[in-house]
C-alpha cells in the first residue's frame, strides 16, 4: 500500500542523505590533500509501476556518486624541485613497489606529485607510490614507447653513480707581446728536437731554452684526474712568428714525444692586425690545420701517449684560439676555459616541462636520467579510486593513452609546484546544512508514516 511505501521512501532518503554526508565529510577532511578530487552525491528519483489507477506508490530516491577527477585544482608553488604538478589532463603512472615490476603488477594513476628521493634513490610520493618513466641509456638517449606500460620503469636518481666528463676543448683568451721580451733579436740556439727545447727547460732550467711566455691549462682525463698541459712561446726574428711547443707538466705524464713530455712543436703565426693566422700556423701539423692536439691512450704502442702507469684513455683537445692575439702589450692570459668535469656525485634533481628528469652533480654536470610519461583517459571521472589518492582503470573510464608531456593534451609538468585539492569549503559547508535538513526531513517521513499506521491500527479498537 502507498502508506507502507512512504516508509521505504523515507528510509531511502535517510540512506541517500547519509551517503551525501559521507561524501561531504571526505571532501572536507581532504581539503589540504594534494590533488584530491571532490566527490558529490547526486539524487535520482525512483518510480515504481502504478498498477492501480489513482493510487500512488512512493519509490524513494537513489544516491549516485559523481567524481570530479577531471576538474583540476589550482597550482601552488612548493620548495622541493621534485614536487610536481600537471598543467593539463594527464596522470602520473605509478606502482606500489620500486623494483622487479612485472606485467602482472598493477599500475596506478595519480595527480599527487609530492615526490621525494627515498633512501634508495627512487622517486616516491607521500602515499608510497613510485614514479614511472622511460629511462635514458648510458649515452643519454631516451626511446619513449607510448603503446606499452611495461616499457616504463621506476625512476632512480642515484643509481647513475659518479660521473666524469673528459675535456675536449679549451677556450683561450691571451695576448703575446709583439714588442718581444727585451726587444732583442731572435732565439739563438733554440731547437725543439734537442735538449735546447722549451720542454727541456721546463724539466731542468739549466738545459733547454727559456720561453718568452708560457702558461699551463688543466684538462680532465678519462678517469677524472687533472692533467696539466703547458704552451710555451719564443719570438722569432721573422715578423709575426713565434716558435711554440705544447708539453705535459710533469713530463712523465707523456711518453713517445721527440723530447720528454713534448706533445707538439712548430710555429704560431699572426696576421699584421694581430689576429691569429691559422692558415700559416704549423704547431698543429700542416698549415691550416684546426688548432688541436691529441695524446694517445696509455695502452698505445707508438706515438705521443699517456704514460702506461696512468692507464687512461686518449685525449683529443680542441683549442679555441679566436681570441688569441699579438699586440704591443704585455703577454698575458686573460682567461682559460677548459670543459670537462672531474668525478661528481648527485646533489640535486631537475625536472623540465616536457618531463625530462636530470641529476645535478657536484662537478657541474647535468645527467639526463629519464622522461616522465603521462596517462590520459577518455572519461577520467569514471576512474576507480584506490587508497593513496590514486586511481585504477575501469571499464567506464576507457583505455589509457601514454604520452610525453606537452603532447596530445597530456599537459606540461611544473617543477617545485603541487596541485591543490579542488574542494571548496564554502560549497561543502552549505551542502552540509542542506544534507542535514534533508536527513531530518526523511526521518520525519518515517515518524509521520508510523503515526498514520498507528492510527490505522487503532481503527480496529
User: Are the C-beta atoms of residues 337 and 174 closer than 8 Å to each other?
Assistant: no
Give the CA dihedral 280, 283, 232, 258, nearest 10 degrees. Answer: -150
pLDDT at 49: 64
Please indicate, yes or no, whether residues 316 and 240 belong to a single structural domain of this protein: yes
pLDDT of residue 182: 47
Instruction: Give the whole-angstrom CA distance, residue 186 versus residue 180.
Output: 9
Q: Which residues of the chain have pLDDT under 70?
A: 1-2, 49-54, 161-162, 181-186, 460-461
Domain count along the chain:
3
Residues in CB range of 131: below 8 A, 6 or more apart: 92, 93, 94, 115, 122, 123, 124, 125, 154, 155, 372
Domain co-membership, 24 together with 83: no
pLDDT confidence of residue 451: 84
Q: Cα 54 vs. chain centroid, distance in angstroms?
A: 71
Of the candidates 319, 216, 201, 309, the one whose C-alpha atom is nearest the C-alpha of residue 260 is: 201
What local confidence, expressed as pLDDT, does residue 184 receive? 46
Q: What confidence score (pLDDT) does residue 316 get?
A: 95
Cα 35–Cα 36–Cα 42 angle in degrees, nearest 5: 140
Whole-model pTM: value is 0.71
Torsion of CA 97, 101, 107, 111, to 10 degrees: 50
Same domain, 170 and 258: yes
Domain boundary (328, 343, 358) is at 343
* Same domain, yes or no: 297 and 175: yes
Residues 357-366: pLDDT tens digits? 998 888 778 8
Question: Are 296 and 218 in a shared domain?
Answer: yes
Which set of grid coordinates corresponds to residue 303?
A: 706515438
Q: How confident is the model at residue 363, as a pLDDT?
A: 79
Rounded Cα–Cα distance for residues 406 and 400 (Å): 17
327 and 268 in a common domain: yes
On whether both 366 and 302 belong to a single domain, the answer is no
Three-class DSSP category at 26: helix
The DSSP-derived string for 366-412 is EEEEEEE-EEE-S-GGGPEEETTTEEE--TTT---EEE-TTSTT--E
- Of 430, 441, 403, 379, give the one whose Cα is nearest residue 68: 379
Let me know: does 132 contact 99? Beta carbons within 8 Å: no
pLDDT for 250 = 95
- Where are the strands (E) in 182-297, listed by range? 213-220, 226-235, 241-249, 254-255, 262-269, 292-295
Domain boundary among 312, 343, 374: 343
Q: Say if residue 171 is in the same domain as residue 317.
A: yes
Neighbouring residues of 289: CB distance < 8 A, sequence distance ≥ 6? 278, 281
- Choose among 251, 255, 250, 279: nearest CA to 267: 279
- Return the CATH number at 255: 2.60.98.20
Range of the domain at 185: 164-343
> Is 35 in contact with 75 (CB distance < 8 Å)?
no
Note whether 402 and 454 are same-domain residues.
no
End-to-end CA distance of the chain: give it in Å, rounded: 21
CA dihedral (243, 249, 252, 256) positive or negative: negative
Out of 311, 343, 375, pick the residue that ends a domain: 343
Clarify whether residues 233 and 375 are in a common domain. Answer: no
Cell, residue 149:
606500460
Co-location of 178 and 283 in the same domain: yes
What is the pLDDT, as a whole number, of residue 443? Answer: 85
Asked whether residue 150 falls in the same domain as residue 206, the answer is: no
Residue carrying the nine cell digits 576538474 = 71
CA distances from 392 to 108, 164, 198, 396 (A): 5, 42, 73, 11
In sequence order, the 6+-apart residues with CB closer than 8 A to the CB of 376 are 89, 90, 91, 400, 401, 403, 408, 409, 410
Amino acid at each position: 500500500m502507498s502508506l507502507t511505501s512512504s516508509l521505504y521512501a523515507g528510509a531511502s532518503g535517510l540512506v541517500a542523505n547519509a551517503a551525501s554526508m559521507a561524501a561531504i565529510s571526505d571532501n572536507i577532511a581532504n581539503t589540504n590533500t594534494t590533488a584530491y578530487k571532490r566527490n558529490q552525491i547526486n539524487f535520482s528519483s525512483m518510480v515504481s509501476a502504478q498498477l492501480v489507477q489513482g493510487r500512488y506508490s512512493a519509490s524513494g530516491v537513489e544516491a549516485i556518486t559523481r567524481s570530479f577527477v577531471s576538474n583540476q585544482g589550482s597550482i601552488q608553488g612548493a620548495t622541493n624541485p621534485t614536487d610536481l604538478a600537471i598543467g593539463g589532463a594527464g596522470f602520473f603512472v605509478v606502482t606500489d613497489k620500486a623494483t622487479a615490476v612485472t606485467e602482472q603488477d598493477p599500475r596506478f594513476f595519480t595527480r599527487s606529485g609530492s615526490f621525494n628521493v627515498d633512501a634508495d634513490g627512487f622517486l616516491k610520493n607521500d602515499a608510497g607510490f613510485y614514479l614511472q618513466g622511460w629511462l635514458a641509456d648510458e649515452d643519454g638517449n631516451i626511446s619513449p614507447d607510448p603503446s606499452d606500460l611495461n616499457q616504463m620503469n621506476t625512476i632512480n636518481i642515484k643509481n647513475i653513480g659518479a660521473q666524469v666528463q673528459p675535456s675536449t676543448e679549451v677556450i683561450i683568451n691571451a695576448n703575446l707581446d709583439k714588442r718581444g721580451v727585451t726587444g732583442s733579436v731572435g732565439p739563438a740556439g733554440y731547437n725543439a728536437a734537442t735538449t735546447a727545447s722549451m720542454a727541456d727547460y721546463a724539466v731542468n732550467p739549466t738545459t733547454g731554452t727559456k720561453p718568452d711566455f708560457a702558461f699551463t691549462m688543466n684538462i680532465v682525463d678519462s678517469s677524472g684526474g687533472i692533467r696539466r698541459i703547458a704552451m710555451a712561446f719564443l719570438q722569432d726574428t721573422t715578423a709575426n712568428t713565434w716558435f711554440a711547443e705544447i708539453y705535459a707538466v710533469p713530463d712523465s705524464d707523456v711518453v713517445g714525444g721527440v723530447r720528454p713530455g713534448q706533445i707538439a712543436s712548430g710555429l704560431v703565426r699572426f696576421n699584421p692586425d694581430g689576429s691569429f693566422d691559422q692558415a700559416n700556423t704549423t704547431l698543429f701539423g700542416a698549415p691550416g690545420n684546426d688548432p688541436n692536439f691529441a695524446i694517445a691512450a696509455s695502452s698505445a704502442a707508438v706515438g705521443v701517449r699517456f704514460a702506461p702507469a696512468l692507464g687512461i684513455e686518449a685525449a683529443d683537445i680542441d683549442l679555441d684560439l679566436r681570441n688569441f692575439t699579438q699586440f704591443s702589450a704585455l703577454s698575458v692570459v686573460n682567461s682559460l676555459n677548459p670543459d670537462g668535469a672531474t668525478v661528481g656525485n648527485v646533489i640535486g634533481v631537475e625536472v623540465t616541462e616536457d618531463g625530462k628528469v636530470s641529476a645535478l652533480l657536484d662537478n657541474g654536470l647535468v645527467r639526463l636520467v629519464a622522461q616522465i610519461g603521462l596517462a590520459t583517459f577518455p572519461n577520467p571521472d569514471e576512474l576507480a579510486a584506490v587508497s593513496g589518492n590514486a586511481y585504477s582503470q575501469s571499464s567506464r573510464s576507457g583505455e589509457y593513452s601514454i604520452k610525453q608531456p606537452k603532447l596530445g593534451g597530456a599537459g606540461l609538468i611544473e617543477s617545485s609546484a603541487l596541485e591543490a585539492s579542488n574542494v571548496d569549503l564554502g560549497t561543502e559547508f552549505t551542502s552540509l546544512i542542506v544534507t542535514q535538513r534533508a536527513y531530518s526531513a526523511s526521518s520525519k517521513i518515517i515518524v509521520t508514516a508510523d503515526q498514520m499506521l498507528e492510527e490505522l491500527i487503532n481503527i480496529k479498537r
